[in-house]
Amino acid sequence: MSKQTLGFNRALGDMADALNSDITDSEKLHLLVRAAARALGVRGCSLMLLDAQRRRLFHTASHGLSERYLRKGFLEVEKSLTGILDERPVTILDVATDPRIQFQELAQQERITSILSVPVKIKGEVVGILRVYSRTRREFTAAEVQFLITVANLAAIVLESGRFEEAERQPPEAKGEPSFHPTPLTSQLNPATFAHPSEEEFARLLDFYQIEWIYEPRSFALQWEGKAAEMFTPDFYLPALDLYVEMTTLKPGLTTEKNRKVRRLRETHPEVNIKLLARRDYDRLLAKYGHGPLAGAKTHGVGRVLLSAPQVQKRVRQLAKEISHDYEGRHPVLVGVLRGVFCFMADLMRYLTVPADVDFMAISYYGGGSGKAVRVTTDVGISLEGRHILLVEDIVDTGMTLSFVLSHLKARNPASLQVCTLLDKRVRRLADVHLDYVGFEVPDEFLVGYGLDYQEEYRNLPFVALMERKSSNKEPQAKNYLG
């Protein structure tokens, strides 16, 4: 038996012991890549997982690679990973000349010459890649390729185990035959050391709505003087939304500087979609779910009327006329998410001139704890397969809840699925959801009336009004309406 074979066997034995231990999944994966790099005698090793859209890869565990290289940006599947998705190993002998390398200059600065990549598969589905990097030009042998494939299979066992543990934590009605999705494991496999508690709370909110996130994923060069003279690293990247989020809640005095960097990023990288979440925006976002400094604020009562009862009814009639015209001959199903939508839903269906079925569903809402996820608590009773669904909303703001509800309804195989909302608070949007019918675009204020409540009051008002705030500048909690 050769020295290399003995080294491979010893490394695989150590990996098997680690998989059978009580260390975390993240620690197991980091041990696998470290042992693989050492056994192969290479510069480094990295495990990367596909995002939910299977368009990009993000580093999940790595060894021997600099922070600068890890944050260089995401690997685009279409540009460099066709062979991997075909489920075969890919070898790149020289990164300086191979067109499949996205970041050639950075790879050379990292002193990488050759790369070997093998797919990571769960039940035949490619969910990521395991990649090793060599300082010298290297033609990997069949034994080395097979060793790395074995390590990739061990990584898949860890991922599969984490997937089923997550499924077991779901409520009984949410369980089913799971399929691999990296989202539930994101926070487990990429444990973040957050700079501020507000970032951790935001990450929990994203986890609740099952929105995949990566903390401080990459750095952008804002100015160049031979080399990058100024860099900017956004706080979060949401792959499913292709959105970067920069938070300014740590130190209010830094807001001006962060605004400058965001503007500069948009100038130098116009393809990047980034949103600046200021302290005021963040506090309002948490207050929507009954958390944060504004959650317990007091109010005097109803303030200025934003939309009068005649205005509301006139617009509802107009929406019903548009919907009746568009759905002529299709017999739609109107679906509402309880509870704020019931006033709008009742009036809208009365004004329709086409036959329509009506049903409701209910979902859980963010409670601020960890280990929870949004779920359907009461589902639609009507069969939706092959039907034309019109999801009716009272108000849409962040879009996170709406995104979840749309995904749930799409899984019912409808013939079509559209959205009608009375109120659109577009300024608060995070998830880019399409709205087919909109009654009014409204400002970023806390609204009550016509189904919208404050601590279960004011739903019965026939108009939409702003809450009157005390001079303390605090705002009421807003945990009532659909996002």
Cβ(179)–Cβ(31) below 8 Å? no
Cα gap 348→280, rounded to integer Å: 34
Q: How far is CA 461 from CA 10, 393, 454, in A?
A: 73, 17, 12
What is the per-residue pLDDT for 470?
55
Return d(Cα 41, Cα 205) in angstroms, integer. Answer: 42
Predicted confidence at residue 138, as pLDDT, reads 92
Q: Quick check: 12 and 150 in contact, CB under 8 A?
A: yes
Q: Residue 190 has what DSSP assignment?
A: S
All residues at 6 or more sequence positions from 258 whose CB lies less than 8 Å from its CB, including other chains: 246, 248, 276
Q: What angle do CA 240, 378, 323 make, to 5 degrees?
A: 70
Angstrom distance (rounded) from CA 459 to CA 290: 18
Residue for token pair 């191979």? 98
Closest CA to 215 of 195, 241, 240, 230: 195
Q: How far apart are CA 37 and CA 39, in angstroms?
A: 6
Q: Is the bond leading into 339 cis (omega within 30 degrees of zero)? A: yes
Judged by DSSP in three states, 313 sits in helix
Residues 6+ apart with CB under 8 A from 102: 73, 75, 76, 79, 80
CB of 202 within 8 A of CB of 370?
Answer: no
CA torsion, points 284, 286, 289, 291, in degrees to nearest 10?
-120
Give dist(CA 427, CA 441) in Å, integer.
Answer: 9
Of 35, 134, 44, 132, which Cα lies nearest the Cα of 90? 132
Residues 6+ apart with CB under 8 A from 300: 468, 469, 470
By the 10 Å C-beta count (0-12 exposed, 13-18 middle, 19+ buried), 436 is classed as middle
Quickly count: other Cβ atoms within 10 Å of residue 416's Cβ. Answer: 13
Q: List domains and CATH numbers for the chain.
A: 3-174 (3.30.450.40), 192-277 (3.40.960), 300-469 (3.40.50.2020)
Return the structure tokens found at 163. Answer: 């997937």
- Active-site position among 51, 235, 397, 453: 397
- With tokens 């080294």, the residue in question is 7
Q: What is the pLDDT of residue 481?
A: 34
What pLDDT does 469 receive? 59
pLDDT of residue 240: 76
Of 407, 409, 374, 411, whose CA–CA distance to 389 is shortest? Answer: 409
pLDDT at residue 124, rounded to an integer: 84
Spatial distance between the Cα atoms of 371 and 445, rounded to a whole number of angstroms: 30
Rounded to whole angstroms, the Cα distance separating 293 from 312 reads 32
> Can you give the pLDDT at residue 479?
36
Give the per-residue pLDDT at 386. 95
pLDDT in tens, the chain (483 residues): 688 888 899 999 989 998 888 888 888 898 999 999 999 999 899 998 887 667 778 788 889 988 778 777 677 776 655 556 666 888 999 988 888 888 888 888 889 999 999 999 988 888 889 999 999 999 999 999 999 999 999 999 988 876 545 444 444 444 444 344 444 344 444 555 777 778 888 888 888 887 878 888 777 878 766 555 678 888 888 877 888 898 886 565 667 888 888 898 898 888 888 988 877 777 777 766 666 665 555 555 677 889 999 999 999 999 999 999 999 999 999 999 988 899 999 999 999 999 999 999 998 877 665 446 788 899 999 999 999 999 999 999 888 889 889 999 999 999 999 999 999 998 878 888 899 999 999 988 888 888 888 777 788 889 998 877 554 444 444 333 334
**DSSP, res 24:** -
Q: Would the pTM count as exceeding 0.75?
A: no
CA dist., res. 398 & res. 431, Å (int): 6
Is 397 a known active-site residue?
yes
pLDDT at residue 150 in the model: 95
